[in-house]
Structure 1
Amino acid sequence: MGVSLRYREAWEGFWSATSDTPGEAIWDADPSLSSVPHSELLLPYADASLPVVDLGCGNGTQTRYLATRFPRAIGVDLSHAAITHARRADPDEVAEFDQLDLADAEAVAALHERIGDTNVYMRAVIHQSEAEARPAVAAAVTTLLGERGRAFVAELTPASKTVLQQVAQGPDGPPAKLRRVLEHGLNPASATEEEVPQLLRAAGLITLAGGETALAQTERLPDGTRIELPARWFVLAATPAAA
């Protein structure tokens, strides 16, 4: 199936207009605030001898950290421009990066065929995906896990949308990093409260652990407070029938 041309072009436009400066994207938080604590939640359930695939890797900040915890880390993103950023930021090639449309079931299956069962890291991808593509994104996690892999998935909740709306209504309008997201037609926190867990279940995923969290952003409020967006996290495995 694949995503729409409009959606693909929105992401290409965003990443093409983004510099290599770490943190320029609002979600490009330091790993110490993202993949480090997330790995600690995943690893008790995961076979750390398997690779890990970072879905929606962007410029690869989290992928490069994941490469220190797993023997092989592969970052994939819809945007060719994002992958170009990721490769430039990784001159030592500690990770691998490839373009991949998560809504393209054949392409996802081909990746699984190439690397075998793998762990998955996915931070805030479903919530901003096109509604019609979200089931395929969840199914991509199932395909990649196979029988042995485990996934860490974190997704923004509708409460994040409220936070972002409040931030955008400041006296000077949206701060610069949030403004860039909105100007490129991206829609954060557009999934409903129950939609994500329902999508995960429908994709044949079972929840091994989960809870509430907040995803740190690189933008700050005028008083210096870091913006943190309410989210839910899940550690997942594929049911035997789905694997």
Structure 2
Amino acid sequence: MTVPAFGLGTFRLKGQVVIDSVKNALDLGYRVIDTAQIYDNEADVGQAITESGVARDELYITSKIWVSHFAKDALIPSLKDSLKKLRTNHLDLTLIHWPSPNNEVPVAEFMGALLEAKRQGLTKEIGVSNFTIALMKEAIAAVGAENIATNQIELHPYLQNRKVVEFAQSHGIHITSYMTLAYGEVLKDPVIVEIAERHNATAAQVTLAWAMQLGYSVIPSSTKRANLESNLKAQTLKLSDDDMAQIAALDRGHRLTNPSSVAPQWDK
């Protein structure tokens, strides 16, 4: 199983806002939904999916285990709790959301527990998020690269994370880009705006297409149906080599997500 290229993110969306976003997305044809325990919206996402009437076997649902549930006797029970909230008997992909703060729970312990969850059929695939090269090496040592479906990382034109990408891809680990639009910052970038005008597209479509053309998965979120519909069109937008080179040149190491409580020592 490969991680789908395009899906819906739900970070920072709760209550009726996330219910409406997910239901609109599913109505428009989205079939990939990304959530997390710490988002505190799994029950809302589960409600939206149920009310949408879309069959479970048409969907690809991802959630992420929070750091307080990493101990081997806590991880699987927390995943089962997520399944109840999401109203499903399995996830398609379960990720370790952030590294364990101060290595309180060793990588081998939580990756081993996550692999056991896969063996029990609670999740079809497992992976990591916000992992550096050093942490990926530990995860590979623990469960094998073949059992790590993706590393979900902050990745956008202003933070292209090339060292992490290169290491992951060299070991067959897929990259999922989150915050691909950099909280909207790149949508005002003159280079991206000009490329969008040439293609009669939006800046968001160009940025999402850029990431997918590099082989990454993207999970943009939106509360507006029109934007959800517009983002879908990124899947058919083809950028030229020159377009791709212009966006490649925008990298400036501009990191937006760096929570002091869980962030590792990032690769430079």
Structure-1-length-normalised TM-score? 0.37
Bigger Rg over Cα: 2
Structure-2-length-normalised TM-score? 0.34
Q: Where is the strand percentage greater, Structure 1 or Structure 2?
A: 1
Structure number with the bigger relative contact order (C-alpha 8 A, sep ≥ 6) is 1
